[in-house]
Structure 1
Amino acid sequence: MSEAAVSPAVDEDEAALANPFVRCLVRLIRAQDSYGSWEGKSDAELLADFIVTRKQRHAMPVIGDPEPDVLWRLDMFYTAVGLAIEERSGLMTSPMTEMKPMGASDAWCSRPGGWSLCRDIHRFGFETFRKLAEAGTKLVDDATAAIEAYPGVAPA
């Protein structure tokens, strides 16, 4: 009996879903499920809304108001970054993301690494699970490196 060939994309998704940051994000999302409606869903199903393909992104307007679901995903992502930093460093962290309407639904986003003007926050998402894992891991790695570089500043 021969084994079925597994596509590289499936292997890549499985590896991304096993990433420590992604595991942290999944735990956080599952903790939000107070009614058990996500109990039977796989991790990939829970994170499916974080994936926004290029085709989906192009179908969205350049400037638009973010829906509550998008803001929730943005909050979950950055809260997971904070939790992963806390797990690694032992220091309590919390994300600082503030959304303020500025004209045509622009928003100022405070995020690890600095402030940026987010005109397309309604398009928040990642091309693949691998890119989701890479983005979260990079933010965690950068913050952890800063904590290690300046050990006296972080606990102050």
Structure 2
Amino acid sequence: MTETTGFLRDLVDQVRASDAYGQLDRFSDDHLLAPFVLTREDRRNIAANCDLEPATEARLRSFYQAIAAATERATGAFTTTILDLSHEGFGRVIIFAGRLVVVSEALRDVQRFGFDSLDKLSARGESLVTGATKVIEQYGEVARDDA
């Protein structure tokens, strides 16, 4: 088991926070992160024309909530995540800070949501946090306006 740091620590915290009954406490961080890693072959074997599984939606939600939490910690600006998905795996995710949109991504084929490795998962998360942080630093007045 490796020590979980940076964005991966935020992601594990979000996964554990979604567990109201504490059932995930007995699992290691590596075990909780494993479902986020899918090889190209794994993704190819998942049908894109089927309904979105609740477990996949939960992973997607945890990923973006971890980005929001890390951004909030880095900037002090309160963040909110909105995830709107159809049952077919299409939608949008938006992360707000105050009245400022700091992340906005169109989502498609989320049935296949995953990364080739933990390094790529971490890099993508860190990249989104860095981008959101820069936007908040540039437009701090709007990011801290909750009117």
TM range (shorter): 0.7 to 0.9
In structure 2, the residue matched to 1:154 is 143
1:100 and 2:96 are equivalent in the alignment: no
Larger Rg: 1
CA distance in 1, matches of 2:29, 2:105: 31
Q: CA deviation at 1:130?
A: 0.5
Q: CA deviation at 1:61?
A: 2.1
In structure 2, the residue matched to 1:86 is 72
Amino acid at match of 1:57: R
Alignment equivalent of 1:35, drawn from 21, 27, 48: 21
The aligned runs of 1:6-155 (5 Å cut-off) are 14=2, 17-18=4-5, 20-101=6-87, 105=88, 107-111=90-94, 113-118=103-108, 120-155=109-144
Report the CA distance shift for 1:59/1:87 in structure 2 as closer, same or farther (over 3 A): same
In structure 2, the residue matched to 1:6 is none
Check the 8 A contact 2:83/2:93 in 1, yes or no.
yes
Check the 8 A contact 2:93/2:106 in 1, yes or no.
yes
Structure 1 segments unaligned to the other structure (5+ residues)? 1-9
> 1:131-154 deviations in whole A, cap 9, x for unaligned?
110111111100000111122221
Q: CA deviation at 1:65?
A: 1.7
> 1:5-60 deviations in whole A, cap 9, x for unaligned?
xxxxx9xxx47x32x11101111222233333222321110111111111101112
Identity of aligned residues (%): 35
Higher strand share: 2
CA distance in 2, matches of 1:115, 1:44: 27
CA distance in 1, matches of 2:127, 2:57: 21
Check the 8 A contact 2:93/2:107 in 1, yes or no.
no
CA-atom RMSD in angstroms = 2.0
CA distance in 2, matches of 1:151, 1:49: 35
Check the 8 A contact 2:15/2:59 in 1, yes or no.
no
Q: TM-score, normalised by structure 2?
A: 0.83
CA distance in 2, matches of 1:138, 1:106: 23
CA distance in 1, matches of 2:125, 2:59: 13
CA distance in 2, matches of 1:114, 1:36: 31
